Structure 1
Amino acid sequence: MAETRKASRFVVPVAVAGVAAATIGLVPALAASGDPDLPEITARQLIEKIAASDTQTLSGTFKISTDLGLPALDGLASGLGGLGGDGSSSADPSEKLTELVSGSHTLRVAADGPERQRLTLLGGSDEYSLIHNGDDVWAYDSKSNEAFHEKGESGAGEKDEPLPGTPKQLADEVLKAAGDTTSITVEGTAKVAGRDAYQLVIKPKQAGSTVESVKIAVDAANGTPLKFTLSSVEGGKPVVDAGFTKVDFGKPAASEFTFEAPKGAKVTEGAAEKAMKPGGHGDFGDDLPEGFEGGVPGLGKAFGGFGSGEGPNVIGEGWTTIAKLDTGAPAPRTDEAPKEIQGFLDSFGDKVTGKFGSGTVFKTKLVNALLTDDGKVYVGAVTKDALVDAANAGK
């Protein structure tokens, strides 16, 4: 128990990796060769086209490659193994889908409106499937022959924020929100899984952001986003490059969304809605310790008010927004962490000093966090220097 309590103190810096994953919209993407000749279109018109898209059905295969610039997570998994201690199933989506945070993966996807979706993660002869069909969410791991099930009211708890009433209004809102901090342009065309597409390119105008660009390929015929590539100012491989290799917008067979646990399979009842909520997305924050319920604009719920339960102070605007949190306690010393966790933290943490005192910047290619030795946290999709400057100004 002592080792488990000690390890739990280090969930905060380790969660930086989770925040980076949670902030990424994994829109399927993979551009093939060839640039189709399409009519010219403005950024406003393309945004209107996306907003007007009413794609309800599709099926296909896509690949996701993610490179957050993190060290290997193998040792970390064993180091945190004692934190759960509840005999959870190997089919639990909240654990299984974290594999997508790094490396390259091939998936099959099918959707038939907001009530039926299926996602299958392929791994050699093994498969992991997540199926949402009405009131039921099932997950099944063929390797361990274990299933995970959640049953609840369809669409319960999901409340959509009011949206502009027309595509033009939505486009106006997007461009207005971008303001002086963002450049939105259409830069050429692409072939994506055999489909003609426009390239929408979004770039920060502000210095200090870790984001170099976001590129979205939009289906020229129906406005469905087909390609998403998120690149970091650090260069190298994109942070996210995920994409359809095959796509069909026809209605999938009903059998795609039916599931019955195989004979002999271990079935666990649990909160699978964290991974696939009807009409929504999963949320890393739901799995973090008490006190993280607050929310950071643009970063989901993974960093909340810590012990105080209060929300963060927001510094700056646009792409260089930084959330300042006060844990109310000195930061944990990494040399007290279990060996596996200590090695992980040291491999992506930089010691820094300034007017604020001293601390450690835990870094990925997208989201960075500065934990000061006196217990304050500065986090955002900004560079290390931007975090240090914010801490100095705060002091």
Structure 2
Amino acid sequence: MTSHPYSKLPPYAYWHHAVAGVPAADVDPVVEPPFRFGAREKIAAAGSCFAQHIGRYLVAGGCNYLVTEQPHPFLSEKAAQALNYGLYSARYGNVYTSRQLLQLFERAYGRFTPKENYWRDGAGAVIDPFRPQIQPGGFSCARELDIDRERHFAAVRAAFETLDVFVFTLGLTEAWRSREDGAVFPLCPGVAGGEFSSAAHEFINLGVDDVVADMSVFLEGLRSVNPRARVILTVSPVPLVATAERRHVMVSTLCSKAILRAACDIIERTCAQTAYFPSYEIIAGGFTGADYFEADRRSVTREGVAHVMGIFERHFIRRNLMETALRKTRQALAAPSASTDAISEAMRLMCDEEALERGAIPAITESPDGGERDPSTDDAG
């Protein structure tokens, strides 16, 4: 038998040895990360809803999870949680897209100030268009929002300048932006404050080149203020709540995830000190044989999160800092007396995107060509 490039590859290169012949809980698609970190190194996180799991597990595992935006001392722990403190390293809420992340950096350093900087809700409260659900009930006035925003930007700068590792979870490619200056919103105007206008707002769907360009500029900016920063990119396995494209939401979900995954591959190959972690493949790939989605087919099960974070710990953390936390989690899952309500509460995520479905009952009407038309997408460009 002649020798060829596939003759003596390591086991991880062969499907049977790496996937088909491995128990679901033992499937590990990480091979050789470019770096690891230890107990003292500061880890910051941002991204879509799934990124919240990463922060929680890092805290539970004794890692140095960086939180630079702290609540006022007079706030109780419960009140601080209600105001979304500690959800991420700073109180920026969900950062779904590469464009949103780049914009956050530019706004924090005074390089960009959007024209549409305030929204109102139905009760007259002032809403931050770029953190529309971070402050339940909104702000009492524009001045209160300004003060909070100044404090927030200082915390964002502190996070970027002092972190050792930045974990960013890309979630979406679809977004809405201002036609006036290109400012991108985490939610379509009108969903959780503000008023939608097709004359003022437009729909965009980022492509691979867009995501790569956004992230390249962001990474350059991050390393200009923090040369030692290392970055771990992930893609959220959570499907879209809704799509503004004129196609099935499942098709839009797979298209968005494919774009994000391809962009991460390019960024990992071309940007130094940047790694990719395959949380998307573990959860949504479907190849492990385990079903890691809840009944709604969006929420990730606690078993899925434990699988992802166990692999993350194994490859990226120098010492077994998370061993105790992971063992306790597995014991809690196996215990017959485990409180489902308590576990569900611990797994609860703040997800801006879910506001798209609140009270929405899609009305299907007949289109001029005899097909069906969904009026909710009429302004989707």
- Fold match (TM-score > 0.5): no
- The answer to which structure has the higher strand fraction is 1
- The answer to which structure has the higher helix fraction is 2
- Using the size of structure 2 for normalisation, the TM-score is 0.26
